[in-house]
Structure 1
Amino acid sequence: MRGGGIERAFVFPGQGTVGGEITGAARDAVLDYVGDTGVPYQLSVFAGSVDLLYRLREAGIEPDVVAGHSLGEYAAAHAAGSLGLADGVRLVAERDRLMNEASRENPGGMVALIGADPDSVVRAAEEASGIVVAANFNTPRQTVVSGQMDALERVTERVRGRKVPLEVSGAFHSPLMEGATGEMDELLRGVELEEPEIPMVGATDGVVLATADGVREALRKQMLSPVRWVDVVERLLALGVREIFEAGEDGTLTRMLRDFKRRDVEGRTAREVLS
């Protein structure tokens, strides 16, 4: 915190972004866990974010608050000092496995609706037959729906806006992930979390998490709950954040920040900051 206030946030992207280069301690932790079997997709995203976090810190750049979008909450919890690196690697690798299994058992997809009114999207999902929910409230003009493919089609036909199918392997943040939650809950219960050294904003409700129990609960409920990124950004701004640095490869969260139309906030990717 510069000058005693909260000014700078680090944010971490989730599924849909690309996994980045992994070096140093992040690479070692991943290889210690997976060996020569190949790095699961979600783990590559997590480790890439952690690697960028370490590089920012090596450059003397520290956050006052952190947040993560979906999968990115694991990197945020590590950045906050609550989740150890080895435990983070193990949890994310298992999260990848469990969600892929759930996706095979209950196929589905996700569609981003650009320019659609969020309330209209919620109503359309609630009134549609089949399993479909509003899963990500990413910006004031971008909402993502998730569910069975035929139900997704019924929702997208009812709302205005541009429809962009997401390149993901399943219907994340929907009831179709129910099969993955039980084992993930058990894994989370068995991990020792530390009290956060810096605050973390929860992705499902925009609440500031200042305890280990709060972080655990956020990670526990995120798989089935919608990502309310609008609430996260609004919370960061209310805290006084004026710099948002994204520890991710393709700048997804940085681009989304433009929809909030705030001239008093600067969003940059970690690679831009480090260049």
Structure 2
Amino acid sequence: MKAYVFPGQGAQFPGMGKDLYETSDKAKQLFARADELLGFNISEIMFQGSAEELKQTNVTQPAIFLHSTILATVMGDNFKPDMVAGHSLGEFSALVANKALAFEDALILVSRRAQAMQNACEVKPSTMAAVLGLEDHVVEAICADVDGTVVAANYNCPGQLVISGETAAVEAACEALKEAGARRALMLPVGGAFHSPLMEPAREELAAAIEHTFFSRPICPVYQNVSTFAVTDPEEIKKNLIFQLTAPVKWTQSVQNMIKDGADTFIEVGPGNVLQGLVKKIDRSQATEKAEI
């Protein structure tokens, strides 16, 4: 069974999507539609902009979404998912791929999500840090003992977690984690505490937009970051998507459940190859591929 997986923030690169634009009329139409919906020329920034320009919040998330969803579209009959999942932002791409969401509706939600997250980041100094070489329960216990808000935010693969919270609390947790034997506890260059309680203002803002968006019954299950299990009910999909902003990304658990349910090939759709690497670290026996036109 084929599991198609979609990357999140951080996978962007200058020139992304240009090959799709140059080889597919359908891709050209979708990029033009995206420029129109967003009110600025995102395709030009993707194809010709610098790495710095691609880091702007209002650009990064839509750019990764567009690269992933347009690639899945132009694959045509070669795109036959038995199940899908996306890492954080990638969940929106997955929901277009399995036809739970229309392309236009999802792009508008992604744009609103990016702005809502940026607004939440400005409320309080906050950040994230990568932690390597400790078991999940050890990281969780140390975060719980630290003064202030700091939580496990991304369960990427065994021995690789990301923590998120108030800057001072994340710094204190990093020191405690190193003392506990972490191989690394490294602050990340991000704008805020994604997937933590500090994203509550963004969750509330996005919830209203999601509630007013139509979701269809998908053509195959999505394994969502919040629940980690196969979901096909549109109302449950919406609920999980709303809580995703303040809840951890349970990628390890999602991949493990996809394997339990029969996945034997994971195909990454979109920029980069991070998810292929994570799948291999979760279960070395799994076949991984990069989606191509």
TM-score, structure 1 as length reference: 0.91
Rounded to whole Å, the distance in 1 between the matches of 2:282 and 2:168 is 32
Q: Following the alignment from structure 1 to structure 2, what is the Cα–Cα distance between the partners of residues 119 and 16?
A: 26
Gapped regions of structure 2 (runs ≥ 5):
22-26, 43-57
Matched, 1:197 2:219: yes
Partner of 2:266: 244
**Unaligned ranges ≥5, structure 1:** 1-6
Which of 215, 218, 231 is residue 237 of structure 2 equivalent to?
215
Deviation at 1:214, TM superposition (A): 1.6
CA distance in 2 between counterparts of 1:166 and 1:248 reads: 22
Q: 2:142 aligns with which of 96, 104, 124?
A: 124
How many aligned residue pairs are there?
A: 264
- One-letter amino acid of the counterpart of residue 32, structure 2: D
Look up the equivalent residue of 1:242 and give its one-letter code. D
Corresponding residue to 1:155 among 170, 173, 198: 173
What is aligned with 1:168? 190
1:108 aligned onto 2:153: no
What's the CA shift string for 1:65-93, capped at 9, x where partnerless? Answer: 00011111111111111100110110000
How far did 1:15 drift?
1.6
Structure 2 CA distance for aligned equivalents of residues 163 and 248 of structure 1: 28
Distance in 1 (alpha carbons) for counterparts of 2:203 and 2:277: 31
For 2:8 and 2:82, locate their aligned partners in 1 and report how far apart those are by CA, in whole Å: 21
> CA deviation digits over 1:175-225, x for unaligned, max 9?
111111112110011001111111111111211111111211121110000
1:37, CA displacement in angstroms? Answer: 5.8
d(CA) in 2 for partners of 1:166, 1:63: 33
Q: Distance in 2 between matches of 1:49 and 1:100?
A: 22
Distance 1:107 1:29, change over 3 A: farther
Q: Structure 1 counterpart of 2:5, which letter?
A: V
Q: Distance in 2 between matches of 1:61 and 1:182?
A: 34
Is residue 2:39 matched to residue 1:18? Answer: no
Q: 1:40-79, aligned counterparts within 5 Å?
A: 40-57=59-76, 60-79=78-97
Distance in 1, Cα, partners of 2:291 & 2:197:
34
Give the conservation status (yes or no) of the 8 Å contact 2:35–2:41.
Answer: no
Distance 1:209 1:85 in 2: 20
Whole-angstrom distance in 1 between the partners of 2:189 and 2:71: 24
**Are positions 1:206 and 2:228 aligned together?**
yes
SS in 1 for 2:190: coil
User: Do structure 1's residue 32 and structure 2's residue 32 form an aligned pair?
Assistant: no
SS in structure 2 at match of 1:97: helix
Match of 2:259, SS state, is helix
1:15 corresponds to which letter in structure 2? Q
Measured on the aligned residues, the alpha-carbon RMSD in Å equals 1.6
- Secondary structure in structure 2 of the residue aligned to 1:219: helix
Gap change, CA 1:61 and 1:82, over 3 Å in 2: closer
- Aligned-partner Cα distance in 2 for 1:245–1:55: 15
Distance 2:186 2:74 in 1: 33
Shift of 1:165: 2.8
Does structure 2 retain, via aligned residues, the 8 Å contact 1:205–1:231?
no
Identity %: 30
- The C-alpha deviation readout for 1:105-135, integer Å capped at 9, x for no partner, is 2221111111121111000111100111100
Q: 1:99: Cα distance to partner?
A: 0.4
Cα separation, 1, equivalents of 2:102 and 2:220:
14
- The answer as to whether partners of 2:135 and 2:159 remain within 8 angstroms in 1 is yes
Structure 1 Cα separation of the partners of residues 131 and 62 of structure 2: 27
User: For 1:131-185, what per-residue CA distance to the aligned partner results, in whole angstroms no more than 9, with x for missing partners?
Assistant: 1110011101101100111111111112212123333221100111111111211
State the SS of the aligned residue for 2:288.
strand
Matched, 1:268 2:289: yes
3-state DSSP of counterpart to 1:105 = coil
Tell me, in whole angstroms, the C-alpha distance in 1 between the residues paired with 2:196 and 2:227.
16
